[in-house]
Amino acid sequence: MAREKSVFICSSCGAAAPKWSGQCGDCGDWNTLQEGSSRTTIKTRAGGYAGERTTQSLASAQGSAKPRLSTGIGELDRVLGGGLVSGSISLIGGDPGIGKSTLLLQAVAALCQHTTAMYVSGEESLEQIGLRARRLGVENAPVTLLAETCVEAIVATADKNRHGVLVVDSVQTMYSGEVPSAPGTVTQLRECTAQLVRFAKQTGTAIFLVGHVTKEGVIAGPRVLEHMVDTVLYFESDAGSRYRVIRAAKNRFGAANEIGVFAMTDVGVKEVKNPSSIFLSSDREAAPGSCVLITREGSRVLLVEVQALACDNPMGQPRRVAVGYEQNRLAMLLAVMQRHGNLSLAGQDVFVNIVGGIRISETAADLPILLAVMSSFRDKPIPVATVAFGEIGLAGEVRPVPYGEERIAAAVQQGFKRAVVPYANRPKKPLKGIEVIAVKRLVGAIEALS
Ligand code: TYD
Ligand code: MG
């Protein structure tokens, strides 16, 4: 019999290499190759009958729309696309201690009103879970608990009891007896997740999979797991903040990029129904370097404060730091500002912070970020009741973004009196209660606020 060959698998992209090397040839990351076994792939290729199969027409494959289960937490239902779908598998990622186990225990307790649920923990003892349930006030919910790390045992137990919902906390602690490598390695993660996915699809059990995030901010073996599951949810938070944002990075049953906002309290996570209220402090005073932006995350419009600080740095390379926003995009925007906004930022350190620990990836934040930088640079506040949105092009033009009217309507609702918007997003008819300044170029926006 041929000796079992080992392969080296990259823990960040999942590529396999026959030999170990310091750098992954596929994604270029360093020190990510781990020894694994090629056995599982060989087994599936050799096994099974490669003959004819029965097929189905598209019309007959549609099935009936099943009602979604409510997790009892409106914001979690929202990121899931309107509730939990049976037979779906969702990966929830986040830093340690951010509240993944707490949120799922609360959700499972609420789900028990409609279905049965099992919570499998590979990290905590059953007493610890019991103590937490008491703290959350859900100790009487009929949740089945299991402390186990062997995925075959979990699948067998879940199969026998046929629970509607299964939580596996966390995927990194699970191992499969089929694979010789240690728990937490890519081969194990892949095998355990594959078994759970198969189980979810065969039995219609909805599965939540908890995944830890590595220092680089990605779930270990992210690509490998992300394409296997139906939904990928990430926790985001500012260090020290009690607010948590959950973002759907992928969702086969709803809008991607949808966010849910929560507050961590001493009795568990509570949903925040009007998130704009936490990203804007109620007693804002006009201060240089602050601007309110209007962003659309998933299907919801949010008003968020952005702060900038421009500060003299006569020596050396000026620093450009963005928190909650993409670093490279900030550098690009500052270059546009210098060239087309007549603002000389060479020799200035520029720091940009999105308040409230939310990450903004939308280009609609370009204009407000530059206005905040301008305000800090000139040490002149932007009037408090002013909001802005708009994408900035490399030629210094202000480009339209989708859902302009909806954004302006949200600003009116929050009591803002003035909006700086792209010319193509100007409202068709004049709006009551808000002055809309439609600009075609960055210079126009800067002049309007000077
Ligand atoms: P946990 O759910 O254990 O995090 P994870 O599973 O993501 O690692 O969250 C634990 C943190 O939350 C811990 O620092 C204590 C805090 N916490 C509260 O503030 N209130 C609560 O009601 C509970 C249960 C935990
Ligand atoms: Mg946990």
Domain shared by 208 and 288, yes or no:
no
Which whole number is the average pLDDT over 58-83?
Answer: 87
Q: Which atom of ligand 1 is nearest to the CA of 264?
A: 19
Distance 391 CA to ligand 2 centre (A): 39
**Lowest mean pLDDT: which of 42-56, 137-151, 255-269, 422-436?**
42-56
Q: How many domains does the chain have?
A: 3
Distance 105 CA to ligand 2 centre (A): 10
Domain shared by 161 and 299, yes or no:
no
Residue 397 is given by DSSP the state: B
Q: Report the Cα–Cα distance between both ends of the chain, in Å, rounded.
A: 80
Residue nearest ligand 1's atom 1 by CA = 99
Which whole number is the average pLDDT over 411-439?
Answer: 92
Nearest Cα neighbor of 12 from 158, 185, 242, 249 is 185
The pLDDT confidence band at residue 95, using thresholds 50, 70 and 90, is: confident
pLDDT of 2 higher than 60:
no
Integer angstrom CA distances of residue 29 from 24, 38, 267 = 5, 21, 41
Does residue 116 sit within a domain?
A: yes
Q: Please indicate whether residue 201, judged by its CB atom, sits closer than 6 Å to ligand 1.
A: no
- Over the stretch 110-163, which tens digit does the pLDDT of each residue have? 999 989 999 999 999 999 999 999 999 999 999 999 999 999 999 999 999 999
The average confidence (pLDDT) of the chain is 88
SS3 146: strand
Residue nearest ligand 1's atom 5 by CA = 97
Does residue 62 sit within a domain?
A: no
Domain shared by 89 and 235, yes or no:
yes
Which whole number is the average pLDDT over 92-119?
Answer: 92
Tokens of 414: 């929050």
Burial class of residue 138, CB neighbours in 10 A (0-12, 13-18, 19+) = buried
> With contact defined as beta carbons under 8 Å apart, do 163 and 205 qualify?
yes
What is the pLDDT at residue 364? 96
How many C-beta atoms lie closer than 10 Å to residue 21's C-beta?
A: 11
Residue 122 is given by DSSP the state: S
Query: β-pairing, 206-212 with 165-169?
Result: parallel
What is the pLDDT at residue 214? 65
**pTM beyond cutoff 0.85:** no
How many C-beta atoms lie closer than 10 Å to residue 316's C-beta?
A: 8
Q: Please indicate whether residue 122, judged by its CB atom, sits closer than 6 Å to ligand 1.
A: no
Domain shared by 180 and 305, yes or no:
no
SS3 180: coil
Tokens of 224: 């490998």
Residue nearest ligand 1's atom 15 by CA = 97
Does residue 36 sit within a domain?
A: yes
Domain shared by 300 and 414, yes or no:
yes
Domain shared by 14 and 125, yes or no:
no
Segment holding 442, helix H or strand E = helix 442-448
Residue type, 172: Q
Give the Cα separation of 442 and 344 in Å (integer). Answer: 14
> With contact defined as beta carbons under 8 Å apart, do 402 and 317 qualify?
no
**Lowest mean pLDDT: which of 31-35, 49-53, 254-258, 436-440?**
49-53
Domain shared by 335 and 379, yes or no:
yes
Domain shared by 214 and 345, yes or no:
no
**Lowest mean pLDDT: which of 9-13, 25-29, 233-237, 289-293?**
9-13
Which domain does 236 fall in, by range? 68-271
What is the pLDDT at residue 223? 59
Burial class of residue 61, CB neighbours in 10 A (0-12, 13-18, 19+) = exposed
Residue nearest ligand 1's atom 14 by CA = 97
Does residue 50 sit within a domain?
A: no
pLDDT of 230 higher than 80:
yes
Task: Name the domain boundary from 223, 240, 271.
Answer: 271
The pLDDT confidence band at residue 62, using thresholds 50, 70 and 90, is: confident
The pLDDT confidence band at residue 315, using thresholds 50, 70 and 90, is: confident
- CATH code assigned at 252: 3.40.50.300
Domain shared by 257 and 334, yes or no:
no
What is the pLDDT at residue 32? 80
Domain shared by 292 and 411, yes or no:
yes
Domain shared by 254 and 286, yes or no:
no
Does residue 342 sit within a domain?
A: yes
Domain shared by 210 and 316, yes or no:
no
What is the pLDDT at residue 38? 59
